[in-house]
Copies of this chain bind each other. A is one copy, B any other.
Amino acid sequence: MAGRRRALYSSEDLAPLINPGSIAVIGASDRPGSLGARAMANLADFRGRIFPVSQHLTEINGLPCYRSILDVPERVDCAVLAIPSQAIEVVVQDCADAGVGSCVIFASGYAEVGSEEGIAAQERLQSIALRGGMLLAGPNTAGLGNLGTGAHCGFAEFPHGYAQRNGTIALVSQSGAVGLGLSQAAMRGTSISHVLTSGNSVDVDVADYLNALADDPVVDGVALVFEGLDSAARLEQAAMAMARAGKPIAVTKLGSSPLGAAAACHHTASVTGSPDDWTALFRRCGMVEVQDMSRLVETAVFLAKFRAFRKAAAVPAVSILSSSGGLGILAADAADRHGVPTPQPGKTTVHRLQDILPPFGSPRNPCDATANATSNPESILRCTEALLTDDQFDALVLLWGKAWRSPCFEGISELATNHGKPVCLVWMSQWSDGPGSTDVEKLPYVSLFRSLDSCMSAIRAWGAPHSFDTGG
């Protein structure tokens, strides 16, 4: 594909798509559940100008409708095409003629079907866009959302979870459904700035998105999911731009199995390539590979929250703090599985801990503050400070035995900031979104994990990103 020979799009190039000031919805509708109605509803928070285009309506949500994009009185940045596939080609040409900056095409039935007609139709869309100097997202995409500006150009409902704080991540996914599922992390407190999906990626692909996000000041890191790319070199270049900006990428690569690769070809017409080649590329660029996608978002958030604390490549040593001996043992076992060192605290630290703990507590590593700590949050804070002060430890793993909102949360985040060391709170309760979980997600310098293995593999990757691959 000719488009692939071009350089990566910069954030400026992509602005009409990921940061538009004006959006036209072609096929705008008030019929509940229709693509056109969903695309309109998704712009409810958009602060820019909206131009509905409809053959049937004269007004929608108080906005005048236009019969064609050619009738819209200004050059719009982005046109969302919520129309049947038969009409797409003509409308894309209209958009090019109208000087539209970018088009988002939901329709499927193109190269992913594998038919000659589908491939030819997709190539025609590409040519029209290329000649008109217009960006294309899709076809076969769920669209994209800039959750900070409300420019949500898609039919899927991405939740609006963006908050201006440390640890904000952008989601970049070839698959729309995957992007949607991941974006629901916002419902449990994750700050998400963008959800960018690319579908068949005839023009804009995930590498372009990454490259543009490297420049975006609200983005601290990216969770990336993709099936395949024509050009690995372009991804490498974009990942390097992210690395130079000090922004981590956690990545799940789809299609590592023969059956998965075959399915990827059908899904977005992607050639998935050799898993080993991709893994090698990820390591070269300091990307953290996460096979089990259920761990991708928490890994990305952790890397994003603590990117400023990252040291020269080394394996970080952790101290473990819990209100239960059993939980501490589990954490020690998990650290061992993932090669994370757990040295014993120094003498001074032991003495400090002994002053805080009851006689049947343990001032060692793992540190058992006993069940008393749950009724005495101040003791958790004091133990946290003692352990963060000890030079032997690069990070603290704090185990949370049950769903519980503690008054010590803010204080722990402050201690982590002051000491420049990550604190990971591991949620050992099976009440996944129980009281306290959202509060912890929202802390700027505490990371929440729902599995010890997820936590320890992320810590390992944080220390030595070039030589580690988080396991399944």
Contact = CB atoms under 8 A, between A and B. Distances in A.
Contact of A177 (B327, B430, B454): B327
A13 interface: no
Interface in A396-437: 401-403, 428-434
A351 interface: no
A205 interface: no
A337 B177 contact: no
Given A267-B328, A327-B175, A329-B263, A190 B336 contact: no
A108 B360 contact: yes
B432 A366 contact: no
B175 A431 contact: no
A453 interface: yes
Given A263-B362, A360-B112, A371-B177, A292 B255 contact: no
Contact of A263 (B268, B334, B368): B368
Interface string A337-372: 100001000000000000000011010111010110
A109 B227 CA distance: 56
Contact of A178 (B176, B268, B326): B326
Nearest to A322: B177
A68 interface: no
A330 B260 contact: yes
Interface string A83-105: 00000000000000000000000
A324 interface: yes
A181 interface: yes
Interface string A147-187: 00000000000000000000000000111111011111101
A326 B254 contact: yes
Contacts of A451: 292, 294-295
Contacts of A430: 181-185, 187-188, 190, 294, 297
A176 B374 CA distance: 14
A173 B292 contact: no
A342 B362 CA distance: 49
Given A257-B333, A433-B432, A178 B263 contact: no
28 contacts: A33-B375, A108-B360, A112-B325, A112-B360, A173-B326, A174-B326, A175-B325, A175-B326, A177-B322, A177-B401, A178-B330, A184-B402, A184-B403, A184-B434, A188-B430, A260-B330, A263-B328, A291-B453, A292-B452, A293-B452, A294-B452, A294-B454, A297-B430, A337-B472, A431-B433, A432-B433, A432-B450, A433-B434
The 5 closest A-B pairs by CB, nearest first: A175-B326, A267-B325, A177-B324, A257-B336, A432-B432
